[in-house]
Structures are given as structure tokens and as C-alpha cells.
Amino acid sequence: MKSLKDQFILNNGVGIPCIGFGTWQTHAGRVAVVSVLEALETGYRHIDTAAAYDNEESIGEAISKSGINRKNIFVTSKLWNSNRGYDTTLRAFDESLRKLGLDYLDLYLIHWPATKDDWRNQNNDTWRAFEKLYNEKRIRSIGVSNFKPHHLKPLMEKAEIMPAVNQIEFHPGLMQTETVEFCKKNNILIEAWSPLGSGRILNNPDLIKIAEKYNKSVAQLCIKWCLQNNVLPLPKSITIERIHENAKVFDFIISSQDMDRINMMPHIGSSGLDPDKINF
Ligand code: NDP
């Protein structure tokens, strides 16, 4: 990858710009509009939002204000947990599109797997709605988030269309190897949420030492480390300088020794959110 516009290719042939701009905890209104506009002006062409972030309207406003052709921006949103199921998914999708002011999404994700009671059927019913929307060309690609192999397998057994993406927590100190290996084997792109560990790993002395060798910040090191692991990072920032900084990752390469050192780091910086244990 040589620029923000370079793409990974999903299993259905759709191209997805290699760094997504994260927007979780980005407050709706001025903060969201200004930061997303700044990201688009900097060259980001991939925005990650979700119904649960409550900022879809502001993100739509920024996209519209940017004047960039809709076709050149890749927009992801996610179905929230309270809307799982066939009819509820269809309605929630319409609501997300309405808020974003768009007539299609590039990627729609099941935000978290159902894991309790009738969880297999709930996930399968939701997925059937995703497939309908995909077949109607209202979404260019469909995927999941926070699914482990034991959630993915029953969904894939019943699916007509395979998930193109699994968005999971992934950063130095948390590689979720089993899920990543399963997805790579099944041609499902991994997207990294919290690629900077939500800021928790930026003061790690080992990462600081490695980043200094390349004259880069730890944030830049983490983003590049994702890309070199063939994982698509979704760094979030509402700070202009950091939005620029996080895009400057194409002028250095992490050596294979340093990649190994980071890959072997002990468990750090995790959110502690386990899809089998969450209560939301
Ligand atoms: P990140 O790992 O991207 O870290 C964001 C934090 O780091 C913010 O506090 C930000 O501060 C700070 N930061 C950003 N860049 C820098 C920098 N260069 N130097 C120092 N600090 C920096 O965290 P997120 O947890 O937000 O994850 C990224 C995205 O992943 C989300 O925004 C969302 O789109 C997605 N996500 C998806 C989830 C899912 O369940 N599917 C769950 C969580 C996240 P500031 O903004 O103040 O500049």
C-alpha cells in the first residue's frame, strides 16, 4: 500500500481503501463534521461509523460538504444489537441510510454476534436481511464484527453470500490469532478496531523504542504494523494534527525483525470486551 487511496480487494471484488477513519466516540455535530471533513481533505476515502455511534447524520453532512464524488468514498455502518432479526434489520438499515443521507452503503456489518438463547437463528435471520439488501444492490459488501470462529461457522453454513469483512479489536498486544487465521483461510478481510488500543498502548516503552528507529510516532507504527499484517486499520482522531499524522505511514517499512518483536508482545491494551461476555 502506497497511499490512502490504495485498496484491499474484498472476496466479492469490491475495493476498500486501506485505512478507514474511525468515528466511535466522535460527538455528533460540529466535532464529527469538522473531523470527517478534515479526514476527507487529507485524503482518507473510507469512513467507519455505526448506528450506535449516534453520529451518522453528521458524517453524512461532512460527506456532502466535502464535494467529493460519492463513488470515491467508502462508507461503512453497523447494525446495532437491539435490531437483530430479519424485519428489524431491514428497518434499521433504512434508518442508517436516511441519517447518512445516502442511497447505498459500501459495507454493512453486524456490530456484535448474538450469543445467547437462540443466537444461531438470530444471526442467520439478520444475515438473510443483509443478503437481501446486498442482492438489491443497496449495499456493496456485507460483513460482521466481533465474530469469533464459533460464531462465524454456523452463519457461513447457512449463508448464500460469505461475509467479506470481520472487524475485530486488533493492535500490538492483542492479535486474536485464531480468529485472524480462520478469516484469512476463508478470504474474509480483517479490519482492526482500536488499532491504537484506544490510546492505551501509545506510551508503551517497547513500542516507543521501535517507533523512534523509524522517526515515527507509536500511532504511525501501529497503523503500519496492521497494514504489514494485511489487516485494515481504522484509526480514530478528532485532532487535526493527529488526523494528518495517522495518514503519514507510507514512507517507511517496518523490518521483519521488528514485525516479529511487535507480533510477540505480551497481552496489553485490551478493551476487555469479549463478544461471549458482553451485556449490551
Ligand atoms: P483508536 O485505537 O483509533 O484510538 C483513538 C484514540 O487515540 C483517541 O483517544 C484519539 O484521540 C487518540 N489518537 C489518535 N491518533 C493519535 C495520535 N497520532 N497520537 C496520539 N493519540 C492519538 O481507537 P478507537 O477505539 O476509536 O477505534 C478506532 C475505530 O474502530 C473506532 O473509532 C470505530 O470506528 C471502530 N471501532 C469498532 C468497534 C466495533 O465493535 N466494531 C469497537 C471500537 C471501535 P483524539 O480523538 O482525541 O485525537
Catalytic residues: 53
Count CB neighbours of 153 within 10 A: 13
Question: Which residue's alpha carbon is nearest to atom 34 within ligand 1?
Answer: 22
Which of 22, 46, 19 is CA-nearest to residue 239?
Answer: 22
Which of 96, 88, 86, 95 is CA-nearest to residue 127?
Answer: 86
Contact predicate 280/146, CB 8 Å: no
pLDDT tens, position by position, for the chain (280 residues)? 999 999 999 999 999 999 999 999 999 999 999 999 999 999 999 999 999 999 999 999 999 999 999 999 999 999 999 999 999 999 999 999 999 999 999 999 999 999 999 999 999 999 999 999 999 999 999 999 999 999 999 999 999 999 999 999 999 999 999 999 999 999 999 999 999 999 999 999 999 999 999 999 999 999 999 999 999 999 999 999 999 999 999 999 999 999 999 999 999 999 999 999 999 9
Read off the pTM: 0.99
Ligand 1 atom with the smallest distance to the CA of 197 is 2
Give me the pLDDT at residue 40, please: 98
Residue with cell 444461531: 120
Ligand 1 atom with the smallest distance to the CA of 235 is 3
Ligand 1 neighbours, Cβ below 6 Å, are: 22-25, 48, 111, 145-146, 167, 193-199, 202, 217, 219, 234-239, 242, 245-246
Sheet holding 74-79, edge to edge: 21-22, 46-48, 74-79, 107-110, 142-145, 165-169, 189-193, 232-233
